[in-house]
Structure formats: C-alpha cells, structure tokens
Amino acid sequence: MSTALTRSYSEIRQALLNREELALVDVREEAPFAEAHPLFAANIPLSRLELEVYSRIPRRNTPVTVYDNGEGLASIAVQRLQDLGYINVSLLKGGLEGWRINGGELFIDVNVPSKAFGELVESQRHTPSLAAEEVQALLDSEADVVVLDARRFDEYQTMSIPTGISVPGAELVLRARELAPDPATRIIVNCAGRTRSIIGTQSLINAGIANPVSALRNGTIGWTLAGQTLEHGQSRRFAPTSEEHRHIAARDARRVADKALVGRATLADLQRWQQESSRSTYLFDVRTPEEFETSHLPASRSTPGGQLVQETDHFASVRGARLVLVDDDGVRANMSASWLAQLGWEVHVLDDLQAAHFSEKGAWKAPVPTPPQAEEISTETLSQWLTEGDSVVLDFTSSANYVKRHIPGAWWALRGQLREALAKVPPAQRYVLTCGSSQLARLAVAEVEALTGKTVFLLRDGTASWIAAQLPLEHGETHLASPRIDRYRRPYEGTDNPREAMQAYLDWEFGLVEQLARDGTHGFFVI
C-alpha cells in the first residue's frame, strides 16, 4: 500500500473557512461516530464504503480526508477509495485524537450541523413554542388548532401527537393553507425533538402565513417527559393543494429564497456545472418520494426537502459543494434552498423546468462500482446444506434487520470488523454470505475467503429470497459475531427510550449554540 498523504487539523479548518470543497470522512460505524466527531465530518462506514461513496462524493478528484480513532480502518479506506478512482485522498493527521489535541471541537450525535443551526435559528429569531402541557390543554378544550408533524411519514406512524397530521418539513408552506384555511386557526408544528419543529415553524413564519404558529417545545420527547400519551400507527396525511394556495405559497417561498440569497439556475446552467471537473454539483429533487417515482429529472436524487435540510451531511458529504434543487411547484425547492443557503451552502433552484423534463420514472438507485464475481447458491441448496451441517451463514445486513428476522443459525457480522467477527464464529468447511439483497454480502466474499482459506458462496438475492420462499426464520440477537455499533440509538426515536437519555439529549441541544461559536467554522447566518 502506498503511504497516504496526511492533512492536519489546521489545514482542514482553513479549507472550511475558505469555503473550499472537502470531504472529511469518518469511516467508523455510526455509534462510535456519534460519540465524537468534527462538525462537518461525514460518516461513511468502511463496511459500506463502496455502496455509498459514489453518490455522497460524486467527483473523483474531490479532496477527501479520512480518519478513525486508532482502529486501523482509515488506512484500509484510503486504499479502497484509491481503488474506486479517487485521486486526492489523505489521512487526517493523528486521527480523531489529533483533531482533539490540536484544539478541534468535537460534537456528539448525528446530523449535528443541522441541529446546531436549528438552535441558532431559535436563539436569534425567538421562534415561538408551546410546552407539551399547553398543547394538551388546547386539545382538551377543543380549541381551534391543527397539529402538523414535520417528520418523515414512517417516523410519524411510529408515534405522534394526538390529532397530528403528517406534513413532512418541505411540505409545510405548500400545504398549511389547505389544512388551516381560517387564519385564526393556531398551527402547531412538532417533530421528535427540536430541530424540525423549529425549522418548520420558522418556515411558516418566514413565508408570512397569517395563522398564529408555534413549535411544540421539545417535540414527542417533551410530550413523553410531561407524562402525556402519544398515538401510534396513525395515517393522517396532507391533502392535495388547490392551485390558488399553491400560487400564493410559491410567491411567498420565492420571496424567502431571495432574502436568503438563493441562486437561480436554468437547465443550461445545470448541464454546464455537471461538466465541470473542479466543482461538485448535487442535483436534489425535494418533492415526496412518491412524486419522484412517478417522474423526475434524469440524474436527480430523491431527497424530500425537510430531510435534506435535517440530514444534509448524509446527502451532500462534500462541504463547499454546489447544490441544485428541483420541484414542480416553486414552493418546496425555494423553501428548502432558503435554509441550505443559511447553512452556508451555495444553493440554486432550477427555474425553467417543464413537465417534459421530468422524463425518468422509478426509485432512485445509488451508483455503485461493478460488483465482484461470486459463486451464488439458491435457497434450496442452502436449506439442504444447513440440514447436513458444516456450513456457516454470515449475515451482513443492518443489526436491526438481523434482530427482526434472519436465517436460523446465521451469524451477524460487520464487514469492517471481519477478522474479529470470524474469531467468534465456529470454523466451518464452507461459508454462505447474505444480507437483505446480497449486494453488501457480495463485497465480503473475497475477504472471507482470504481470512478463512475456505470456499465462500453468496446466497442469490439474499435473505429476501429466503423470506420469499417462506422458509423458517429466527429473530433476536441469537448469534452476534460483532458488536451492534452500526447504528447509534437516537434518544428521540421509537417509544422505549429512558427518560434520562431524553432529558440529556435536550440538554445537549441547548448547548449547541455555544459549541458552534467555539468551533468557529460553520459560516451559518439567519435571515
């Protein structure tokens, strides 16, 4: 392996201040990443690098700096990135510890730039909010109030405020007049914690909606801490918007975008930018996933606007890149862009689109390298081998999927910790690899062969084919060969979080504005 170049904390910091393009990539799993990382680090675990990096770092000559915390993952990542065609890859000097000892600020949790920005917005704009008890009192008295849930629909279904309607963030300005046509109706925007309710509430205020608007302070966490009851499995969603309301919302959204200095662009601009070798351009469709699948612009990625603002680091992992946003109504792209501009991005909205330009159909598919060859077997063959013994199944799906259901006797393993995982698995004459679809498992075939010296097979179409064949399944943490660190347990997700974790999360969010100031690289502004 060639000796990798290094970039120091001070060089990365200066590049951020200069608004230069860079990708600072943490190649650890999500849980350790969430324990400590630089503000603008993007988490692309070594385990999944090949499946994510082309969409997240699209230009192969982007300056990419990788790091770990001494686990030995970063040097492997450098080699893999070079093999994938990246020509400007370096190691962070001293890794995470080097960042810390040189004075670099470290943040906890995930999607921190957006969460810190949300706190900054509230502190500067004094975004109105109501405590859970106040909202409960309004509902109990049957006051003229609508509750709009700004999260993804699946999050809303898991748990929601009584009477709440699912209106994911970017939809709020487009849909609010339909859901609260009387300007006297109070609108309450909620999420699970704080960020999306603050941004959603402030979106409606920025757009000049006549209704009184408040965030539900601290979201479903605040509701739970107040001892109030959440609903589960609800399916109330926004209705289509009238042309009159869309027209008003488009005018309002354009005014907000102009105030935030959002760029305007044409298809010709986009095509020119996509040819540039020295800048990265992301093309994001901020409508709903259903609209995207019906028809979309070629080469665009489906990123519903509320989630794009919430998880920008996940979609656009190159800080300093150019973002181009697309919709077909003039509302969602402008509102999403207004926030991204305040988050320090160069962002443009495509203005000259016609229906005919939305010529592609179907879900977005991540660009991936040519998959390596592997000898595949059918579910029937695997079933027979498992009856005979001397075969071990390794499952590389997410740990949550594995716990939900897996092939009986299968061992769950992290690809990034393969050597350690295999030390826990009983030796076998042959190994069969799987994951949900076998896309990730395929990448591990040669690695398992090299480490075991045995024949390794791939289950054709993965565990999905086993489920489709209605073969027996097992659930729970039955055979874990790796620690479950592939996903950070978010204190605001699900319904069984300890109260202490919820309160600690809120306390952390309140401290983010000060931490942003100490870091000093963010470039955020608030209109």
Q: 274: part of which helix (H) or strand (E)? A: helix 267-275
Q: 113: part of which helix (H) or strand (E)? A: helix 112-125
Write out pLDDT tens, residues 370-401: 999 999 999 999 999 999 988 999 999 999 99
pTM: 0.95
Q: Given a cut of 50, is residue 135 above it in pLDDT?
A: yes
Q: Given a cut of 90, is residue 472 above it in pLDDT?
A: yes
Quick one: DSSP state of residue 37?
B
Q: Given a cut of 50, is residue 521 above it in pLDDT?
A: yes
pLDDT of residue 281: 98
CA distances to 56, 88, 284, 292, 324 from 316, rounded to whole Å, are: 6, 18, 10, 19, 11
Q: Given a cut of 60, is residue 1 above it in pLDDT?
A: no
Whether residue 77 contacts residue 83, with contact meaning beta carbons closer than 8 Å, is answered with: no
Whether residue 170 contacts residue 305, with contact meaning beta carbons closer than 8 Å, is answered with: yes
> Rounded mean pLDDT of the chain?
95
Helix axes 172-179, 332-342, angle to 10 degrees: 130
Write out pLDDT tens, residues 17-56: 999 999 999 999 999 999 999 999 999 999 999 999 999 9
Domains (range + CATH), the chain: 7-110 (3.40.250.10), 116-240 (3.40.250.10), 257-357 (3.40.250.10), 376-468 (3.40.250.10)
pLDDT of residue 495: 67
**β-strands 281-285, 263-265 pairing:** unpaired
Average pLDDT, integer, range 165-176: 96
pLDDT of residue 209: 97
Quick one: DSSP state of residue 85?
T
Whether residue 437 contacts residue 458, with contact meaning beta carbons closer than 8 Å, is answered with: no
Average pLDDT, integer, range 139-153: 96
Q: How far apart are CA 443 and CA 262, in angstroms?
A: 41
Question: Which residues touch 462 (CB under 8 Å, ≥6 apart)?
Answer: 397, 434, 435, 436, 437, 438, 439, 441
pLDDT of residue 506: 82
Quick one: DSSP state of residue 170?
G
The token duo for 273 is 């930018």
Average pLDDT, integer, range 200-213: 98
pLDDT of residue 494: 65
Q: Given a cut of 80, is residue 2 above it in pLDDT?
A: no
Average pLDDT, integer, range 282-301: 97
**β-strands 301-302, 391-395 pairing:** unpaired
Whether residue 407 contacts residue 441, with contact meaning beta carbons closer than 8 Å, is answered with: no
- Percent of the residues in the chain that have a pLDDT greater than 90, as a whole number: 94
